[in-house]
Amino acid sequence: MIDRGLVATFPDCHACARLRCGPAAVCLACASGRITRPAPGACPVCAQRRAADGCCPNELCRSPGRRISRIHAIGYQAGPLRRAIYSYKYGGTRSWCVIFGRLLAAWLEQNMAADPPGLIVANPTFTGCPGAAGEPGPRFAHTEAVLRAAADADRGLRWPFDTATPATIVKTRATLRSADAQAWSKRVTGAELSDAIEVTDPDRTAGRFVLVYDDICATGSQLDAVAGCLLDEGGAARVEGIVLARAPWRGGLNA
């Protein structure tokens, strides 16, 4: 039971008395009152809302070449969660990584206890040079920061977060941004990503179930590319994804 006298309502998390000292489960319970979480009837492969005919509109789920086994989602990319992610990635509020990390740690406890991953990695960010992909300066390693925050929130040291340097999977060059692109463009950026990532130490992934964290999933093409690298270069036994927000399908635009 959450003591509302001590907990701010999501997304006013920065005013919460339990932001850094309370259990991570408090954050997920609080956020769940303001975000839309995937229902049991969502697509079992990508967590997308299914169409009226019961089919998932995401073609990745039907692809015979799909490499990622499943994509889980904490919520849908709408309302307070969408605004919080935008503030984190583009508005400069980097302290959101603490809240997102706590949501991730609590989600793992709630959903993965019976089938724990052998390693949890981030969809890697390239931060190597100013002006990457037409941007004015180096990119912030936003996914990696959330993973480190989740490791800090995991006080029982239960979950195998990849916080090593270098990371198990890295991005070696800049690629086009996929944010707000059409579905066909997202597939192109997913294919481009395949040529820009590599596994640094296959011993960390060989034979393991690897879970890949990302902030948003639209088509799932990027997560599928990361899964292919972990399977082919890293010898992983199985790869799944977990995202903060699943983008709802909107007639050809999955953004």
Higher pLDDT among residues 211 and 51, named by residue: 211
pLDDT band at 8 (very low <50, low <70, confident <90, very high): low
Report the percentage of the chain scoring pLDDT > 90: 67
Cβ neighbours around 247 below 10 Å, total: 23
* Rounded Cα–Cα distance for residues 46 and 113 (Å): 20
Return mean pLDDT, the chain: 87
Domains and CATH numbers, the chain: 41-246 (3.40.50)
pLDDT at 132 over 60: no
Least confident of 57-61, 178-182, 195-199, 219-223: 178-182
**In the chain, alpha helices (H):** 24-31, 79-89, 96-111, 142-153, 183-194, 221-232
Contact 162, 168 (CB under 8 A): yes
pLDDT band at 188 (very low <50, low <70, confident <90, very high): very low
Contact 220, 187 (CB under 8 A): no
Q: What is the pLDDT of residue 127?
A: 82
pLDDT at 1 over 90: no
Q: What is the pLDDT of residue 128?
A: 74
pLDDT digits (tens, 9 = 90+) for 142-166: 999 999 999 999 989 999 999 999 9
pLDDT digits (tens, 9 = 90+) for 81-111: 999 999 999 999 999 999 999 999 999 999 9
